[in-house]
Amino acid sequence: MNAALEDRLASAPLVAEKPSLIGLSRPALADALREAGVPEAQLRMRAAQLWHWLYFRGATDFAAMTNMAKGLRELLAQRFTLARPEVASEQVSVDGTRKWLLRFPARGAGRPVEVETVYIPEEGRGTLCISSQVGCTLTCTFCHTGTQRMVRNLTTEEIVSQILLAREGLGDFPAAAVAPGAIVPGEGRLISNVVLMGMGEPLYNFDNVRDAMLIAADGDGMALSKRRITLSTSGVAPMIPRAGAETGVMLAISLHAVRDDLRDELVPINRKWPIAELLDACRAYPGLSNSRRITFEYVMLKGVNDSLAEARDLVRLLSGIPAKINLIPFNPWPGSPYECSGWERIEAFAEVVNRAGYASPIRTPRGRDILAACGQLKSASERMRKSEREAISGAA
């Protein structure tokens, strides 16, 4: 571990001081209130009030909850916290993209950990890219996160907290002013879209990701549209239909190659669930239609997967699946073994895809100057022992 990180982590609290109420389901919230002594007949009402404060208004202090008796507020404050995660650093790109390095306290036997969350403002929308794990068990060869060993899964609280922290930092809660100097969309919510495209493989932390997405989409709280929440997976085929059934959010697949031999190399999970099996799982994703399509992501790697023959194979492979195609110019990171395809090649590839009826498929790289673009995220948190990770899963 480097010395600076060691210093930072040494100054962080070793364990969370009080449990947080963030990330609990409504019944779990009611249980917490019951333990705090709230009478049975009031539980539902109090849980609904809390939900509104936590997720609609973004309260971080029980004292603000003026429709609850002072005694109850004090009791809750003694037992629970609503604190946001600690911001270890915040960087803003020349294009307005914003990256937070967030530090979460140790859970159980573990150490404090750090993950990255990225905000990408565009003309008509603001997208928050959140992480689901610290590091990743997978080792996709073009991805910076893939070079970091898996440290641990994030808890539901930690996943939800990334959204709350960003909304607070930008001024996206009712009655809040937009943060001075922030580049944000011209109209609508500052964070209108959430993508699980940060660090980690969301389908390897499914329960926590699902619970967090259900909180984000809950109509009495943050009320993000499920059509504007996208879960991206490298291809955990058996979990795909279940993810759709239990979350109802949109799906993106990191395809990146049209042949198994190449995909085995680029996205090694392909050796377990090859392309045909992955696409079968996609066909079984519930609720697909022309207005509800799966996004297939394809990173453009010079001389590796970017021939026009591969573009033609790509559209052939996806025929019959309601799909969007998203070509991602490769974002380099220190020591990365690939180059991004040339712009002419990307355009020619996109042209083949366009002619097959897929609209505007090239994703503009954002925040490259602060290593905030797709696949550039990585934190310095170190691997935990398996027993430590298991202790946390139990505690989550």
- Comparison of 68 and 140: residue with beta carbon closer to ligand SF4: 140
305 binds ligand SAH (CB under 6 A): no
Residues that bind ligand SF4 (CB under 6 A): 136, 138-140, 143, 145-146, 200-201, 234, 254
143 binds ligand SAH (CB under 6 A): yes
The item of ligand SAH, ligand SF4, none sharing an interface with residue 156, based on CB under 5 to 8 Å by kind, is none
Q: Has 143 been annotated as catalytic?
A: no
Smallest gap from residue 75 Cβ to ligand SF4 (A): 42
299 binds ligand SAH (CB under 6 A): yes
Q: Integer distance in angstroms from the first to the last C-alpha of the chain?
A: 26
Q: Which pairs with CB-CB distance under 8 Å and at least 24 residues apart come from 242-249?
A: 242/206, 243/203, 243/206, 243/210, 244/285, 244/286, 244/287, 245/286, 246/210, 247/209, 247/210, 247/213, 247/214, 248/217, 248/287, 249/213, 249/217
Q: Is the dihedral of CA 267, 268, 271, 273 positive or negative?
A: negative
- Residue 214 φ/ψ, nearest 5 degrees: -65, -35
- Comparison of 139 and 354: residue with beta carbon closer to ligand SF4: 139
Burial of 5 (0-12, 13-18, 19+ CB in 10 A): middle
197 binds ligand SAH (CB under 6 A): yes
- Residue 53 φ/ψ, nearest 5 degrees: -65, -45
Distance CA 135, CA 182 (A): 29
Asked whether 33 and 50 are in contact (CB, 8 A), the reply is yes
The item of ligand SAH, ligand SF4, none sharing an interface with residue 116, based on CB under 5 to 8 Å by kind, is none
The item of ligand SAH, ligand SF4, none sharing an interface with residue 128, based on CB under 5 to 8 Å by kind, is none
How many residues sit close enough to ligand SAH to count as binding (CB under 6 A)?
16
Q: Which of 116, 201, 297, 310 is catalytic?
A: 116
- Comparison of 9 and 143: residue with beta carbon closer to ligand SAH: 143
Q: Which of 129, 136, 282, 374 is catalytic?
A: 374
Distance CA 7, CA 205 (A): 29
306 binds ligand SAH (CB under 6 A): no
- Comparison of 240 and 315: residue with beta carbon closer to ligand SAH: 240
CA angle 219, 20, 79 (to 5 degrees): 120
Tokens of 325: 């195609």
Q: Scan residues 213-232 and list those touching ligand SAH (CB under 6 A).
A: 232
- Comparison of 232 and 381: residue with beta carbon closer to ligand SAH: 232
330 binds ligand SAH (CB under 6 A): yes
The item of ligand SAH, ligand SF4, none sharing an interface with residue 91, based on CB under 5 to 8 Å by kind, is none
205 binds ligand SAH (CB under 6 A): no
The item of ligand SAH, ligand SF4, none sharing an interface with residue 326, based on CB under 5 to 8 Å by kind, is none
Tokens of 231: 């879960």
Strand partners, 299: 328
How many CB atoms sit inside 10 A of residue 166's CB? 24
Smallest gap from residue 317 Cβ to ligand SAH (A): 16
Asked whether 102 and 117 are in contact (CB, 8 A), the reply is yes
Query: Pick from 161, 208, 234, 247: which binds ligand SAH (CB under 6 A)?
Result: 234
The item of ligand SF4, ligand SAH, none sharing an interface with residue 80, based on CB under 5 to 8 Å by kind, is none
> What residues are labeled active site?
116, 374
What is the contact surface with ligand SAH in residues (CB under 6 A)?
Answer: 140, 142-143, 197, 201, 232-234, 254, 297, 299, 328, 330-331, 374-375
